[in-house]
Amino acid sequence: MEVCLRRTAALVARSNGLRPAAAAVTIAVTRAATHSRPFSFSSLTRPPPNYPGHVPLSRIEKAGLAIGSGLMSLRDPRRGDLIAAFAEATATPYFIYRLRDAMLANPTGRRILRDRPRITSTSLNLPYLRSLPANTVGRTYVAWLDREGVSPDTRAQVRYIDDEECAYVMQRYRECHDFYHALTGLPVVREGEVALKAFEFANTLLPMTGLSVFAAATLKKSERRRFAGIYLPWALRNGLRADEVINVYWEEQLEKDVEELRRELRVEPPPDLREIRKREREERKRKQAAASAGV
């Protein structure tokens, strides 16, 4: 190696009018700088995960994940896996840190970050919640689960957020989503999900929630009209004025009166979407029956 360096130094000296010693120093510095340059991020040099289940991605990979999952989830809003991937790919470098800082600035949020509670059917003791009075947060939540046929155990594990604490913040947001449904009374039908996402966007600023609002374009004409006239104004008004819902320690609110919690958070429930849809179906059936009788 030393012979090669000296020979290269001599060639550089002759071509650039330098003395061999000066050329040797130049090559040595260049060689050292080259070897000290960090390896580029690729699938072959991927760093180790920061927490169980973590998948480190480069910026290019995150951009590809965001674009692909975003477009496909707009096409099929029922794909929870795509929505979850898009949420994580677009939450950094700013939005998830803003949400984490909002928790750090709040006494209850700080306790949540310290305790790291998880929301599952086991941790919440659903049979006990069913025994609570009808006006409590816990009974309202479990009644919503039973009515919509969903479970708190179906939330995907966070994988693509590098910071371990921020990954928990995203996991907490994801697992609290059904509490937001119960608090507002919005069902899991596409129209209700879009309305809740608009509320969440105004409250959390997570890009995924904002993009999900564009799924309103896939609604039926009557649903789009109702969303624009009723549920979008409700979502923006309540999402902006409400306290940061990420700071609610839901596990400690289960026996509380749900109306009291709504007042504290400054969240007013929207018109009952299921009841509106039910009345519309009945009206269509009535008209169809009348038309058939007329024939």
Contact (Cβ atoms closer than 8 angstroms) between residue 65 and residue 85: yes
How is residue 75 written in tokens?
């096409």
Q: Is 35 annotated as a binding residue?
A: no
How is residue 190 written in tokens?
């596409």
Return the sign of the alpha-carbon dihedral for residues 49, 51, 55, 60. negative
**Backbone φ and ψ of 136, nearest 5°:** -85, 160
Q: Within 153-231, where are the H helices?
A: 164-184, 190-204, 207-213, 221-226
Q: How far apart are CA 216 and CA 258, in angstroms?
A: 29
Q: Is 153 annotated as a binding residue?
A: no
For residue 94, give Cα distances in angstroms to 10, 66, 103, 152, 172.
Answer: 52, 15, 15, 28, 17
Q: Is 181 annotated as a binding residue?
A: yes
Query: Residues annotated in the binding site, as ranges?
Result: 177-178, 181, 193
Query: Residues annotated in the binding site for Zn(2+), as ranges?
Result: 177-178, 181, 193
